[in-house]
Amino acid sequence: MSGGVPGYWWGMGHTFVGTCSWTDPKLVASGWYPSGSRDAEGRLRYYAERFPVVEVDSTYYGLPSERNGILWAERTPDGFRFDVKAFSLFTGHPTRAAALPADLRPLHARAPGDPALLDELWRRYTTALEPLRRTGRLGTLLFQFPPWFRPGDRAGAVLRGWARRAAGWPVAVEFRHPDWWLPQTCEASAGLLAELGMSTVSVDMAQSVADAVPPVDVVTTPRLAVVRFHGRSASWGTGSKEDRFRHTYTAEELAQWLPRLRSMAERSEELHVLFNNCCADAAVRAAETMSDLLPASVPASAPVPAAPGGNRFTS
């Protein structure tokens, strides 16, 4: 692919294709990064010459630093997007005390869900990401909720709480419990996210496994739609990380998504298509194949739009 920020105009939306990590050790070891581009700066610059968006997954395991936010902005071209995963405690996942700043660990030990703790963590998290937002490189904050987070009043209260806390920040939500997107619940789930100004994350995964999340083309904010391709491993939910995500997408499998992607692009300003089958170089190869399947790249003279702003409600 050519340098700069490759993108695709398709209907209303500007479509960005990338992967869910650029630092995964298996990717680095695969040889995809050439010699001379394997240090922290070289990897990101090389990646950003080939793809216009990437997901930051390290922020799920620990808070980001403002220094990293500054460096990420400096090492990527204008128009590049970072979709940043929410810290694990924000989405109700088990979180080790060591993942928190030392001064907040006593409070976490006493009350891990304390609103004051979440408020302070959120303040530090967003302060670190301000350089990305200020330079137009922040795509969205990605809240990936766990498989036990199912539809109901309690889940609704959690989402409303985060909508209040995250006011002014772009948020996208991925549900891992299939009940959110069943035919009888899909409309209500989409309505809730639209009311809260949160974008929907659609997923591709093996439909043969227990609790598989069905593929949908739901768009709940006009600013952004997201699709994450997790691979189609029959070991989803079991085994090692490699077992869960080991899958090499074929062009035929990816082409099955083109009608959905077209529909989503026509209803959003931006569409982010991200590959999470992070085993060796499988994700970058799938992203390259998907890019080849999409319409022609934006002409060099066409401006890349600034990242969409904060939350906007949709009707």
The predicted pLDDT at position 208 comes to 87
How would residue 243 be classed by pLDDT, with cut points 50, 70 and 90? low
pLDDT score, position 226: 98
| pLDDT for 236 | 66
Could you tell me if residue 36 is left (phi over 0), alpha (psi between -120 and 50 degrees) or otherwise beta? left
113's CB contacts (< 8 A; 6+ apart) are none
CA–CA distances in Å: residue 172 to residues 56, 139, 143, 154, 159: 14, 10, 6, 19, 11
pLDDT of residue 11: 53
| pLDDT given at position 297 | 44
- pLDDT of amino acid 313: 30
> What does the pLDDT average to over 34-38?
89
pLDDT at 235: 65
Q: Count Cα neighbours of 16 within 13 Å in the Cβ-side half-sphere.
A: 32
Helices (H), the chain: 25-29, 40-50, 58-61, 66-74, 105-110, 115-134, 153-165, 186-196, 241-245, 251-255, 258-266, 282-293
Contact present, 147 and 176 (Cβ < 8 Å): yes
Least confident of 48-62, 200-214, 238-252, 278-292: 238-252
Residues 6+ apart with CB under 8 A from 68: 128
Residue 309 has pLDDT above 50, yes or no: no
Task: State the chain's mean pLDDT as an integer.
Answer: 89
In order of 34, 62, 122, 142, 294, the CA distances from 95 in angstroms are 35, 9, 15, 17, 39
The residue behind tokens 């920040």 is 169
Domain boundaries, the chain: 8-293
User: What's the pLDDT at 307?
Assistant: 58
Could you tell me the pLDDT band of residue 1, with boundaries at 50, 70 and 90? very low
Q: What does pTM read for this prediction?
A: 0.90
CATH architecture of 8-293: Alpha-Beta Barrel (3.20)
66 has pLDDT over 90: yes
pLDDT tens-digit readout, 190-242: 999 999 999 999 999 999 888 899 999 999 999 999 999 998 876 666 766 66
Mention every residue, 6+ apart, whose C-beta is less than 8 A from residue 264: 13, 202, 217, 219, 225, 227, 271
59: number of CA atoms within 13 Å, CB side?
Answer: 28
